[in-house]
């Protein structure tokens, strides 16, 4: 299995368990025995991102949440921090005196109970006015129009108040009721939305049009927005206020996770422009990013796309990428596959495979720059069949060539990368065996490589600069150059076969003498 070596890609179980122990003991006041019992009981807790566990524990501290049930703690730690905070604040809004993990775990259930019964379960005095609690002790004069009753479920009661606040408290008359009641998440706190809107309008200068365009921002935590503003002056060289206005979904992301992701981008030398082109990378945890980028670096069929401009999309869509790799491999087209192959729809992939996956200029440029540090794609594309060579074979050839030749020796003979490594090695070995001991000829490394390329292409309209030509061009050149080679139309097929055939011992070394006697006119010195 290509993706089975997880031991190299993830934090060890023991070290992560120890980190969780420290977080839970320090922030929740649990004993080591209680923490060990909890982690043994809920082993999947270890799979929750560390930054989320820490943030949710800090939220527990902030609101004095009582951890009375370790069994229910796991669910609370899994929640996104702003969702957990909204649950807590809904309970606070209606006047629950003591909030505990059991209540948070069963919030949806409690919302569907009648108000009178909910009061009994949560120790809210029977005579206490829930509406007064929600509106901060001051019941609006026109509240009667809401027809509030303790025979309503708590959800119905709270939603009536929420819709009342849409215009009178939030000043969002244009907002669709469905956004407040159902979109993004069903449990939304009136007090949290009110506080968040203040920060958005005062600190980030959000206007009605921006909120209308991205209404999800109203559920962000005001504290998280303040932390973002206080933690950064700029992000990706963009002033932080401008950044948060341009990418509103960042308001919902944990500050610590963003910091760690930015450090990872720097550690792996990922250009800012790559990140700006795919800002969704901020939606995954730094731990997941680290694990996935290591998968990309080490995977035999994906590592050539490390540092590709679409690398971040491969990382964020790793499950889709895994499936595509396996599928394209079954279809025997993996050597030609590129990032777009892995990221396209299933229908697009099938269509591409049926038509034949071919190379593209930008992908070929990435491979050449990654392996050679220089862009020779325009020269390579002069070859008539540059699209048919597989990326895997090109990379293997480049790695082989770099071991035996300098970059400057490879560049003039770049078309040689279109041949299989075994073919090139065979021809080079034959040439060196024949001429290394010769007193008549003395070839440099560069000349050997150029001569090898000539021997591979000499029967296929070789023009002297390693470029293939079609029949018409070949005829034109034959009238202009006496030393041009004339071939028939059948050589087009020979071209295609020669690119991918296995070792061929039928090398006519007498051609080398002809080349040398003509002052190496067809060889790059």
Lowest mean pLDDT among 193-197, 337-341, 406-410, 513-517: 513-517
C-alpha dihedral, 377 to 383 to 384 to 388, nearest 10°: -60
Phi, psi values for residue 268, rounded to 5°: -95, 10
Residue carrying the six token digits 């270890």: 46
- Residues of the chain with pLDDT > 70, as a percent, come to 85
What's the pLDDT score for residue 408?
Answer: 94
Confidence of residue 461 (pLDDT cuts 50, 70, 90): low
Confidence of residue 187 (pLDDT cuts 50, 70, 90): very high
Residue carrying the six token digits 């969702």: 83
Task: Give the count of beta carbons closer than 10 Å to the beta carbon of residue 137.
Answer: 8
* Contacts (Cβ under 8 Å, ≥6 apart) of 449: 401, 405, 409, 410, 413, 416, 428
Q: Is the dihedral of CA 478, 483, 488, 491 positive or negative?
A: negative
Q: Is residue 470 predicted with pLDDT exceeding 80?
A: no
Q: What is the pLDDT of residues 83-102, one digit of tens each?
A: 999 999 999 999 999 999 99
Q: Please measure the distance between the N-terminal and C-terminal CA atoms of the chain and give it in whole angstroms.
A: 46
Residue carrying the six token digits 């070394």: 509
Q: What is the pLDDT of residues 220-249, one digit of tens each?
A: 999 999 999 999 999 999 999 999 999 999
Lowest mean pLDDT among 168-182, 440-454, 456-470: 456-470
CA distance 193 to 171: 11
CA distance 456 to 416: 9
CA distance 56 to 79: 8
Lowest mean pLDDT among 29-38, 268-277, 380-389: 380-389
* Three-state secondary structure call for residue 414: helix
What's the pLDDT score for residue 24?
Answer: 95
Long-range contacts: 9-12, Cβ < 8 Å, 24+? 9/291, 9/294, 9/295, 9/298, 10/287, 10/291, 11/287
CA distance 475 to 461: 10
More confident residue, 183 or 66: 66
Q: Is residue 499 predicted with pLDDT exceeding 70?
A: no
What's the pLDDT score for residue 140?
Answer: 85
Q: 514: which 2 tokens? A: 């002809």
CA Rg value for the chain: 33
Q: What is the pLDDT of residues 505-522, one digit of tens each?
A: 334 444 444 444 443 333
What's the pLDDT score for residue 501?
Answer: 36
DSSP string, 225-287: HHHHHHH-SEETTEEHHHHHHH-GGGGGS-HHHHHHHHHHHHHTT--HHHHHHTGGGGGS-HH
Q: Is residue 484 predicted with pLDDT exceeding 50?
A: no
- Helix or strand (DSSP H, E) at 121: helix 115-122
Query: Taking a C-beta distance cutoff of 8 angstroms, is the pair 377, 361 a contact?
Result: yes
Q: Is residue 495 predicted with pLDDT exceeding 50?
A: no
Q: Is residue 446 predicted with pLDDT exceeding 80?
A: yes
More confident residue, 343 or 145: 343
Q: Is residue 255 predicted with pLDDT exceeding 90?
A: yes
Lowest mean pLDDT among 139-148, 208-217, 448-457, 505-514: 505-514
Residue 464's region, left for phi above 0, alpha for psi from -120 to 50, else beta, is: left
- Residues of the chain with pLDDT > 90, as a percent, come to 69
Burial environment of residue 489 by CB neighbours within 10 A (0 to 12, 13 to 18, 19 or more): exposed
Q: Is the dihedral of CA 217, 221, 227, 229 positive or negative?
A: positive
Q: What is the pLDDT of residues 103-134, one digit of tens each?
A: 999 999 999 999 999 999 999 999 999 999 99
Q: Is residue 204 predicted with pLDDT exceeding 90?
A: yes
Confidence of residue 4 (pLDDT cuts 50, 70, 90): very low
Helices 318-330 and 346-355 pack at an angle, to 10 degrees, of 30
Q: 147: which 2 tokens? A: 């027809």
Residue carrying the six token digits 């179980």: 13
């Amino acid at each position: 299995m290509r993706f089975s070596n997880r031991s190299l890609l993830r934090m060890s179980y023991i070290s992560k368990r120890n980190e969780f122990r420290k977080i839970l003991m320090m922030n929740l006041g649990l004993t080591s025995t209680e923490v060990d019992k909890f982690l043994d009981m809920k082993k999947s807790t270890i799979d929750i991102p560390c930054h989320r566990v820490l943030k949710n524990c800090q939220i527990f501290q902030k609101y004095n949440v009582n951890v009375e049930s370790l069994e229910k703690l796991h669910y609370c730690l899994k929640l996104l921090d702003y969702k957990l905070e909204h649950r807590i604040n809904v309970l606070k809004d209606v006047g629950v005196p003591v909030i505990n993990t059991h209540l948070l775990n069963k919030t949806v259930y409690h919302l569907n109970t009648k108000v009178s019964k909910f009061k009994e379960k949560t120790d809210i005095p029977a005579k206490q006015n829930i509406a007064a609690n929600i509106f901060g002790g001051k019941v609006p004069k026109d509240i009667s129009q809401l027809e509030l009753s303790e025979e309503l479920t708590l959800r119905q009661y709270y939603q009536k108040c929420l819709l009342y606040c849409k215009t009178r408290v939030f000043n969002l008359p244009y907002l669709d009721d469905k956004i407040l009641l159902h979109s993004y998440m069903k449990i939304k706190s009136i007090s949290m939305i009110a506080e968040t809107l203040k920060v958005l309008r005062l600190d980030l200068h959000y206007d009605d049009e921006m909120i209308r365009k991205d209404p999800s921002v109203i559920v962000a935590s005001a504290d998280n927005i303040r932390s973002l503003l206080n933690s950064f002056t700029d992000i990706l060289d963009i002033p932080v206020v401008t950044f948060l206005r341009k990418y509103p979904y960042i308001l919902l992301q944990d500050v610590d996770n963003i910091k760690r992701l930015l450090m990872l981008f720097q550690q792996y030398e990922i250009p800012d422009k790559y990140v700006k082109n795919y800002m969704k990378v901020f939606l995954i945890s730094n731990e997941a990013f680290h694990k996935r980028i290591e998968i990309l670096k080490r995977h035999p069929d994906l590592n050539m796309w490390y540092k590709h401009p679409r690398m971040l999309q491969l990382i964020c869509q790793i499950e889709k990428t895994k499936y595509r790799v396996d599928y394209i491999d079954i279809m025997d087209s993996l050597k030609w596959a590129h990032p777009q192959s892995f990221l396209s729809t299933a229908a697009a992939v099938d269509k591409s495979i049926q038509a034949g996956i071919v190379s593209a200029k930008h992908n070929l440029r990435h491979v050449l720059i990654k392996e050679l540090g220089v862009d020779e794609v325009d020269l390579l594309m002069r070859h008539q069949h540059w699209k048919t060579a597989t990326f895997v074979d090109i990379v293997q050839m480049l790695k082989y060539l770099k071991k035996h030749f300098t970059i400057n020796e490879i560049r003039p003979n770049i078309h040689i990368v279109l041949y299989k490594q075994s073919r090139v090695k065979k021809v080079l070995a034959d040439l060196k065996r024949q001429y290394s001991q010769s007193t008549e000829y003395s070839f440099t490394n560069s000349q050997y490589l150029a001569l090898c390329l000539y021997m591979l292409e000499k029967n296929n309209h070789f023009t002297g600069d390693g470029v293939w030509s079609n029949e018409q061009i070949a005829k034109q050149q034959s009238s202009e150059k006496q030393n041009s080679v004339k071939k028939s139309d059948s050589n087009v097929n020979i071209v295609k076969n020669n690119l991918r055939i296995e070792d061929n011992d039928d090398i006519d070394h007498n051609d080398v003498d002809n080349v040398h006697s003509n002052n190496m006119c067809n060889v790059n010195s």
